[in-house]
Amino acid sequence: MTMSNTVFAYGKDKLSVGMTLDLARGKVKGTLTDEVRAKVIASRKHVEKIVEAKKVVYGVNTGFGPLCTTIISEEDTKELQTNILQSHSVGMGNPVSEEIVKIMMVTKVQALSQGYSGIALETLERILWMLEEEIVPVVPEKGSVGASGDLAPLSHLFLPLIGLGEVYYKGERMETAPVLEKYGKEPIALGPKEGLALINGTQFILSHAVKAVERFHNLLEAADLIGAMSLEAAMGSARPFEAILHEIRPFKGNQHVAERLDNLLKDSEILNSHAECDRVQDPYSLRCMPPVHGASRNAWLHLKEMVEVELNSVTDNPIILDAENTISGGNFHGQPLAMVLDYATLAASELGNISDRRSYLMIEGRYGLPKLLMEDTGINSGFMIPQYTSAALVTENKTLCFPASADSVPTSLGQEDHVSMGSISGRKANEVISNVEKILAVELLYAAQGVDFRRPMKSTKVIEECHNFVREKVAFADKDRIFATDLNVLEEMIHDQSFVNHANKTAEKEGIQLNGKHDELFRIY
């Protein structure tokens, strides 16, 4: 990976979703300025003074959770911090991806660098060193209730600091100790408050949310492109995308989608060929793309805004203002992210619902398209069955739309009596997004086939290039074949963003402005 010349200053510069991803992917180098180092050192000294003065502060010289009234002696405060990482490492299930783990590390450094957590500078520098050397902790996916922060996954994340746990290193999963020995590094000896500072926070939820922002954005872009291609296949109208219609109901997402669709379809030969036809109006799945895709855009925008607040927040507990002033609060509670992730999950699912309806529309044998999108049916089933897969995925998504944040199971002997379950919200959001990638792959298979039946007429340059991009890997079908092969190719084309990127590059090359007046709002970078 080629690193850019950009340098990000943790604790000073503001993280965006795009910058977070660049840091996690090694495209941008993160550093600590002298000013930030001074803030971190000062915060650490505040904790040391608290211990020396024997002032009782939660998590510094007390037990945790329901043990908050148990006073810990000065000589035992360091052991307390090591013990908490071990006792709280109770995650189960498959490991999360290495990229999610790297995002967790990036976002944790940003939170701890702001000088309110009492972390030691050496500890922060060790996390940054691990990132730079791509020593990636193994973090199980299950076990967090999302308050008091993501305790279990963050404990696994930071076991390697004390020489425990497992890491991914040079393509292998292995114990931490041999990796540290290779570099001549000793395990970190955590001081008072450090263990708690490391494992309190929302970084597991947040990392899933960062990925959801990126992946959901790609879905939204792809859905507009594929929806426009489907409209051409079904010889639908572009009049519902005219600006005046959306000026009198001015939701930003709706306007953005309408402008994109209008620009995508402008001067299409297929569109112009039926301008005077007697069809009064199209089915909702075609003409209601601006309000439906647009509503999902609005949900995505809300998710992005909330994520970018959290990216630059301090989310551990207690907060150390100075040696005389600490606050034991609830900044670790995942509810602000949990609720918006549940909203985004529903919004992503709806993109799949309307996509499935467009797929069904194209195989009905209407609008001059052959039934099941194949002329020789009977001996051939045509494109009947891919829509079954789409229907199954749509229903699976509906079952995943129950909001995890609507539930709360008391933990910690009642001390933590309301929790967010935001880690589940984050994982479900990404699972639904993965399913919608598959649903859109079915629609793209159908839309490309449908457009071929409109030849020799052509659509616009962008849609034609999208069609060509598909046809480079998936051929027109005049008889049955194993369509799963095609669907997997198209799913990957959507998942890896190459389909959307190809469309955007075509638009840029041809001087076509796809987006409108709200373009800046709906960007990640």
List the catalytic residues: 58
Dig out the tokens for 374 from the structure: 């194949």
- 105 near 131, Cβ under 8 Å? yes
180-184 long-range Cβ contacts below 8 angstroms, 24+ apart: 183/133
370: amino acid identity, one letter: P
Dihedral pair phi/psi, residue 202, rounded to 5°: -110, 25
Is residue 510 classed exposed, middle or buried when 0-12, 13-18 and 19+ CB atoms within 10 A define those classes? exposed
- 446 near 362, Cβ under 8 Å? yes
Dig out the tokens for 312 from the structure: 């630059």
Is residue 276 classed exposed, middle or buried when 0-12, 13-18 and 19+ CB atoms within 10 A define those classes? exposed
**CA 270 from centroid of its chain's CA atoms:** 36
- 112 near 124, Cβ under 8 Å? yes
Please tell me the distance from the alpha carbon of residue 77 to that of residue 190, in angstroms, as a whole number.
9
* Angle at the Cα of 320 from the Cα atoms of 315 and 323, rounded to 5 degrees: 175
Q: Which residues have C-beta within 8 Å of that of residue 44, sequence separation ≥ 6?
A: 118, 119, 120, 121, 191
Asked whether the CA dihedral 408, 147, 336, 404 is positive or negative, the reply is negative
**CA 233 from centroid of its chain's CA atoms:** 32
